[in-house]
Structure 1
């Protein structure tokens, strides 16, 4: 069985390292993008099995990038988990309305994120 590919979209290097370290202990392969535009560029070349999308990103927000992903028939079925440190009331609703499949706020428990990832990547 081939390794599942996860695209992690995050502008903060420290937060990318946290996810990188967490996923290094799994069978998942990870590719990173530092903003929404870079994520869309990666998606022209790769088809990840799942996207971890920060909401607050420079150039193109995670919500706008997710909307664009959902409008593309080739990409529309890729699960997107929104990850944000701006966990305000209603942010979960905004993420889901933009097309995210799930939402998790920082700081999160690593176990919770891994369970969420497994939910979307386990047949």
Structure 2
């Protein structure tokens, strides 16, 4: 049996399942949560890493923005408030740990989720990241589906399209 995908990439069966989840008791459809409602800021000094994450997340439906270091990230956050920041640790200008510390001092950014995405798997860096109040610590390499799953968990979006 063929399952036709719509523009969102979801099969008809998946769409029906999502619609059921959003049905109220009286049968009315509640507003759907769309991934395009969420902005993900990707902060990494390596262009290829930013491009891979941006492309993968955009293909899933998220809006994305990029920054090559912490200073650029903070400037972008002043203009547009991302829902999630995917933050590398080791970057020039302002590293991911210090950038996260600064994010946590700004009241209007308190609910922004910061997920460290780094190749550094040392216990020392993990402890440093946790002391900066990151929401998650993800060691590269990682699949885009795993990043998506972690983002959805932190934003409580497990049924978003």
Q: TM-score interval w.r.t. the shorter chain?
A: over 0.9
Alignment of 1:40 with 2:64, yes or no, is no
1:68 corresponds to: 102
Q: How far did 1:112 drift?
A: 1.8
TM-score (normalised: structure 1): 0.93
* Largest Rg, 1 or 2: 2
**Cα offset, 1:121, TM superposition:** 2.1
- 1:74 is paired with a residue of what secondary structure? helix
Shift of 1:27: 1.8
How far off is 1:17 after superposition?
Answer: 1.4
* Superimposed CA distance per residue, residues 83-119 of structure 1 (whole angstroms, 9 cap, x where no aligned partner): 1112212322211111210000111132221110111
CA distance in 2, matches of 1:90, 1:73: 28
Which runs of structure 1 show a deviation greater than 6 angstroms over 4 or more consecutive aligned residues? none
When the two structures are superposed, what TM-score results if normalisation uses the length of structure 2? 0.72
8 A Cα contact 1:4 1:121, kept in partner: no
Matched with 1:9 is 43
Q: Is 1:22 aligned to residue 56 of structure 2? A: yes
Q: Which runs of 5+ in 1 are unaligned?
A: none
Q: How far does the alpha carbon of each residue in 1:16-74 deviate from its partner, in whole angstroms, 9 at most, with x for none?
A: 11101211221210000100000010011111111111111110010000000001111
Q: Indicate the residue corresponding to 1:86 in structure 2.
A: 120
**RMSD between aligned residues:** 1.3
For residues 148 and 124 of structure 2, what CA distance do their matches in structure 1 show? 24
Aligned residues: 123
